[in-house]
Structure 1
Amino acid sequence: MEKLEEQIAHLTKTVEDLSDVIARQDTDIALLQRRVQMLLEREADREAAGGGGVVIGDERPPHY
């Protein structure tokens, strides 16, 4: 019986540790999602402002 109690205590501690890790990861993921969204919006604003210097197809670069 004592061995089972030790195993339950160990498993309970492991579950609590994993729960803490998952909660921390959830916070990190939410922060990263906000940052990615901000970067996407910033890039969309940059493209809308005409700041994109991407050469498409056979277009000559502006220095020609």
Structure 2
Amino acid sequence: MTKDKDCEELLEQIQELQMRVSFQEDNLQELNDVIAEQDANISKLQEQLRYFAEKMKQLESASSLTGPVSGDERPPHY
């Protein structure tokens, strides 16, 4: 009788482990999906940052061609 009981306990432990592994696999897939989404978002943000950095360079370059910004000029009474 103890062999049957031992076998039943082992089967229960195996089933428990199988459920845990399945749960872990589901969690791992969800985390992988989140990481993939975050990677795509980071790539988009980096692209936007490069775009705006280039725009800033263009604006700075254009403003240096037109002269100083009005806040940088001396008032006429000096």
TMscore range, shorter length: 0.7 to 0.9
Matched, 1:45 2:58: yes
Q: Which protein is bigger by CA-based radius of gyration? A: 2
Counterpart position of 1:58: none
Q: Count matched residues.
A: 58
Computed over aligned residues only, the root mean square deviation of the Cα atoms, in angstroms, reads: 1.8
Query: Which whole-Å CA distance do the structure 1 matches of 2:53 and 2:74 have between them?
Result: 29
Flag structure 2 segments of 5+ consecutive residues without an equivalent: 1-13
Query: Which whole-Å CA distance do the structure 2 matches of 1:35 and 1:45 have between them?
Result: 15
Following TM superposition, the consecutive aligned residue runs of length 4 or more in structure 1 with deviations greater than 6 angstroms are none
The alignment's TM-score, normalised by the length of structure 1, stands at 0.81
The alignment's TM-score, normalised by the length of structure 2, stands at 0.67
Percent identical pairs in the alignment equals 24
Equivalences for 1:9-20 in 2 at 5 Å? Answer: 9-20=22-33
Flag structure 1 segments of 5+ consecutive residues without an equivalent: 56-60
